[in-house]
Structures are given as C-alpha cells and as structure tokens.
Amino acid sequence: MMDTPKKYKLGLEAALDVIRGKWKGIILFHLSTGRKRTHELRTLIPEITQKVLTQQLRELEHDQIIHRILHIQNPPKVEYEVTAYGWKLADLLISLCNWGEQHLDNLHGDKSKLLEDYLLLSGGQEMQVPGNAE
Amino acid sequence: MMDTPKKYKLGLEAALDVIRGKWKGIILFHLSTGRKRTHELRTLIPEITQKVLTQQLRELEHDQIIHRILHIQNPPKVEYEVTAYGWKLADLLISLCNWGEQHLDNLHGDKSKLLEDYLLLSGGQEMQVPGNAE
DNA sequence: CTGCATCCCCTATGATACTG
DNA sequence: CAGTATCATAGGGGATGCAG
C-alpha cells in the first residue's frame, strides 16, 4: 500500500493515505494515550474486527507511525506504541479530535455559533448577479 | 450522511467523518488557497470525476465547511469557498499537508531521520522477555 | 492471546450520457 | 459551465473458522 511508487502531487495526499482506513485514526488516537495491548484496543474499539484491527495496525506499523512490541512468552503478549516519528501525526489527530468535539457540540443543541458564521459569509457574498455572461 | 443520529464515542470520529471521502481533504485544501470555481477544481484535481466532485462538495457544504456561491448568469458560474467555520478544519489540513511533505521526504532518498527515530524506540523497548506467563 | 485465511457483501467511486 | 441520472465496478471491511 506504500511500496507502490505512487506519485503524490500533494503532501496532503500522502498524509491522508496514512490515516485512510476506517479505524486508523481512531487507533492512533487511542495509542496516543499510551502503549496498548491488542486486546485493549479491541475493548476500546468494540466495533472493529480482529482482522481489520490487525490489518490497519500493520499498515500503521509499515508507515513507521506505530511500533509493535512483541513479548515472547506464553500466552503471547503484544503491545503497540506510537513511534517518535508517529507522534508528529498523532498530535495532529489530537487537534482534529478537539475540532471534532466542538463540531459535535455544534451539531447538537447549540447551532447558533455555526449559523453565525454561515450568515456572516453569505451576507455579502452570495450575491445574485443578473444575467450577464463574461 | 450526517442527518442520521449517529453516535460518536469520540470527537475524532466526527472529524474524520467530515473529511472521509477520497477527495474531500484535497478539495478543502485547494479551497484553502482561495475561492475556486467548479472547473478550476477539476483542473486542480484531474483524477476526480464530475459526479464525485459535486458529491463531495455537497457533503462539505452540508457540514458547513464550505460555502457555495451561485452567480445567476449565463453561462452559470459557481464558486466554492471555505467558511469561517471550515477554516478551523482547513488549518488542520494544512498542518497535515506539511506533515505529509516531510513524510514524503522520508520515504524518498533520505531515510536516515525516520530510521533514527525507529532505532531510538526499538533500542530499549522491543525486548524479548523469556517465556514466562503472567 | 494474537493473528492468518476465506468468503462475501456493501458502498464509495468511476464511466457515460443527458439536462438547464 | 454546472450538475443530475444510471449503471458498473472494485476493494475495503465484516463474519467466521482455524493456528501458534
């Protein structure tokens, strides 16, 4: 998924590629609160399947965002952790999370703030120019 | 896509939902450099189809991230612009873009930096505990 | 406990043609 | 120019069973 000599025109494309996947962002966010075992992640994200969890963890690992820590013992124990490199991305996700929180607030009860911005912009700019072509 | 009384456990889920879609992030990023006409966007993102472009624009508009400016004239002229509300998100995308740029650098020629972080972490932590259960 | 292998489906995306 | 309407497709993701 990353080995392909894919041409990105924008850095953003590369970045979005890294967090593409239904759960990658969520996973990374949870790991940002500390190293987690596989099972803990499943508990934190009940909706995700084993397969997809492993899958997306592998991709994040491949992109050097997280780090897989294998403890050789019986029963096996595996932990995942954000790498120093990955933290740069994780921090952005945390910001995104904060934005999301506010966004949720806006979606719920209080729409005034959102509406305010809306009116502000549409006030002067959604003008209806009479029919003259350019 | 947003009217459904969806339960988010994390603000991040809501945020990721807003930029979910293959091109939404890219679109928003392009709009962050200024108001754009529909056709300009198609030029900036040649790979996107008319249908999908419109579709994702509608969703962003619905989430109040961007604003559709209709000039009634012939031929029709439509412009899209980031709302004040949307800017909070757009800013994050710009950061994400910067991260992506660096990430691309790491992927290309110089892997030293990335590797550095990697070694840093794995040095003390990828220990292989002998076989003792807990 | 963790992870792999299958099978299957759904939905987002793409291709194409048409309207105002 | 901008946007719909259809139909077709791919591939990400879900369910289940098995393995170390």
The reported pLDDT for the residue numbered A98 is 96
Measured between beta carbons, the chain B residues lying within 8 angstroms of A31 are none
Tell me how far the alpha carbon of residue B47 is from its chain's centroid: 16
B10 at the A interface (CB within 8 A)? yes
| B112 reaches A (C-beta below 8 A) | no
Is any atom of nucleic acid chain C found less than 7 Å from the CB of residue A73? no
Reported as a pLDDT band with limits 50, 70 and 90, residue A103 is very high
H-run or E-run covering A80: strand A77-82
Which is more confident, B72 or B116?
Answer: B72
CATH code of B11-113, in short, is: 1.10.10.10
Under the banding of pLDDT at 50, 70 and 90, the label for residue B39 is very high
The answer to whether residue B54 scores a pLDDT higher than 50 is yes
> What pLDDT does B108 receive?
78
Which residue would you say has higher pLDDT here, A51 or A1?
A51
Closest CA to A13 of B48, B65, B77, B69: B48
pLDDT for A4 beyond 90: no
Distance from the A124 Cα atom to the nearest Cα atom in chain B, whole angstroms: 11
Kindly report, residue by residue over B58-91, the tens digit of the pLDDT. Answer: 999 999 999 999 999 989 999 999 999 999 999 9
Q: Tell me the pLDDT tens digit for each residue of B119-128.
A: 444 433 444 4
Helix segments in chain A, DSSP class H: 11-19, 24-31, 38-44, 50-62, 84-107, 112-125
Closest CA to A36 of A67, A60, A3, A4: A67
Work out if B62's Cβ lies within 7 angstroms of strand D: no
Are A72 and B129 a contacting pair at CB < 8 A?
Answer: yes
Q: Cα A109 to the chain's mean position, in Å?
A: 25
Q: Which residues of B touch A26 (CB under 8 A)?
A: 10, 12-13, 16
For A32-57, how does the pLDDT look when each residue is reduced to its tens digit (9 = 90+)?
Answer: 999 999 999 999 999 999 999 999 99
